[in-house]
């Protein structure tokens, strides 16, 4: 159920209205009925560990070529849409989003549709302009990214996210940006996809978004496969929100509490190592499906170059294909019915990504 990528340019940057009943990709609006399966949380411009890998060549060209070659195999698994949830200033997105047009070229070369998010990450990693901006200014910026284009380009965002909160806490800045996302959502109808740090503050995120009047059926609470308490996951779902099991394959990872200090100093700084098995993820997915929550769950890998070497048998061996080729069969061995795949990877994510037309 795939469609050729649109040959036309993206919507004009000056346009003010969102299209009706379409998925907004970096190459323009697409009819959701023509789309296949979806990976809802990736960062395709974050695959290279650094400019040195280009051998002195063009850094942007290297990032584009690497991303395109990594994404293309998804088509063999019926996945033709990837959502880039890179916040300003991290995992491949420039501080003001001015490199967003690189994603359009990645899409053209790979044959995979890409939907861009707009969001702000954890306060410690946020660009100064986002910290300085007030709530109204942030809501306006996010709305403009959806309706006019990111950083003055013609590339529109198609979703709000990954909007982030911290480890066991929500700073005033993070609260502001989450509320700004909710207000942009109310103006545009775009879905919200969040980042929880290791599954903490999930219920608090839902409460803030509900306080702002968000439609919780169009809210996805992210990284909940790292939360070990299935009752917390069920509580989020009972509140009416969706959740993402979106770090599949990331069994080992490092978490940096904050960037290295500037100027850098010798010695230790805030980093923790974590392990989360895909077997536990598979069992949780099968159990949530058994409890009747299947149409509120989305899947992805959150794959970045930084973690590939830490996970040589998952991301390192399979890349983006790990989820459909290895993880889904594992989940089916533990009770997930085969028919679940289309709900998890197609009908639910496309419902959330569709703008207008009663979505």
Q: Where are the domains of the chain?
A: 25-257+269-355
- Which of the 8 DSSP states describes residue 215? -
Q: What is the pTM of this model?
A: 0.92
Question: Between residues 259 and 87, which one has the greater pLDDT?
Answer: 87
Q: How many CA atoms, within 13 angstroms, populate the side-chain half-sphere of residue 4?
A: 3
Which residue is associated with the tokens 């340019």? 9
Predicted pLDDT of residue 255 = 78
- pLDDT(262) > 80: no
Rg of the Cα trace of the chain?
19
Residue 2 has pLDDT above 50, yes or no: no
Average pLDDT over residues 236-249: 98
Residue ranges of E strands in 14-59: 22-25, 28-30, 37-42
Q: How far is CA 350 from the centre of its chain?
A: 14
CATH architecture designation of domain 25-257+269-355: Alpha-Beta Barrel (3.20)
- The 10s digit of each residue's pLDDT in 152-196 is 999 999 999 999 999 999 999 999 999 999 999 999 999 999 999
Tokens read off for 236: 């989020």
| 84 SS3 class | strand
- What sign does the dihedral 34-36-38-44 (CA atoms) show? negative
Cα distance between residue 246 and residue 250, in whole Å: 9
pLDDT of 214 > 50? The answer is: yes
pLDDT bucket at 13, cuts 50 / 70 / 90: very low
């Amino acid at each position: 159920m795939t469609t050729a990528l649109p040959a036309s340019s993206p919507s004009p940057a000056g346009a003010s209205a969102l299209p009706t009943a379409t998925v907004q990709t970096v190459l323009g609006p697409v009819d959701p009925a023509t789309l296949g399966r979806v990976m809802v949380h990736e960062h395709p411009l974050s695959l290279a560990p650094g400019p040195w890998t280009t051998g002195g060549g063009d850094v942007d060209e290297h990032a584009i070529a690497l991303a395109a070659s990594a994404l293309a195999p998804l088509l063999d698994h019926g996945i033709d849409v990837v959502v880039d949830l890179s916040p300003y200033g991290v995992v491949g997105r420039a501080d003001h989003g001015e490199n967003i047009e690189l994603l359009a070229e990645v899409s053209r070369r790979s044959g995979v549709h890409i939907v861009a998010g707009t969001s702000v990450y954890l306060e410690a990693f946020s660009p100064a302009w986002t910290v300085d901006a007030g709530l109204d200014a942030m809501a306006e910026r996010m709305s403009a990214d959806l309706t006019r284009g990111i950083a003055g380009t013609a590339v529109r965002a198609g979703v709000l996210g990954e909007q982030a909160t911290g480890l066991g806490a929500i700073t005033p800045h993070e609260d502001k940006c989450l509320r700004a996302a909710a207000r942009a959502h109310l103006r545009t109808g775009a879905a919200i996809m969040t980042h929880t740090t290791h599954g903490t503050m999930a219920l608090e995120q839902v409460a803030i978004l509900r306080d702002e009047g968000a439609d919780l059926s169009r809210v996805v609470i992210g990284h909940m496969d790292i939360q070990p308490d299935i009752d917390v996951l069920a509580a989020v779902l009972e509140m009416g929100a969706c959740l993402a099991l979106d770090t599949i394959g990331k069994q080992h990872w490092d978490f940096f509490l904050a960037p290295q200090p500037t100027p850098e100093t010798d010695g230790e700084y805030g980093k923790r190592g974590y392990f989360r098995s895909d077997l536990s993820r598979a069992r949780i997915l099968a159990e949530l499906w058994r409890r009747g929550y299947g149409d509120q769950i989305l899947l992805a890998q959150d794959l970045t170059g930084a973690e590939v070497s830490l996970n040589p048998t998952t991301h390192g061996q399979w890349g983006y294909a790990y989820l459909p080729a290895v993880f889904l069969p594992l989940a089916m061995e533990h009770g997930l019915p085969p028919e679940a795949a289309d709900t998890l990877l197609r009908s639910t994510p496309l419902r959330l990504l569709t703008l207008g037309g009663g979505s």
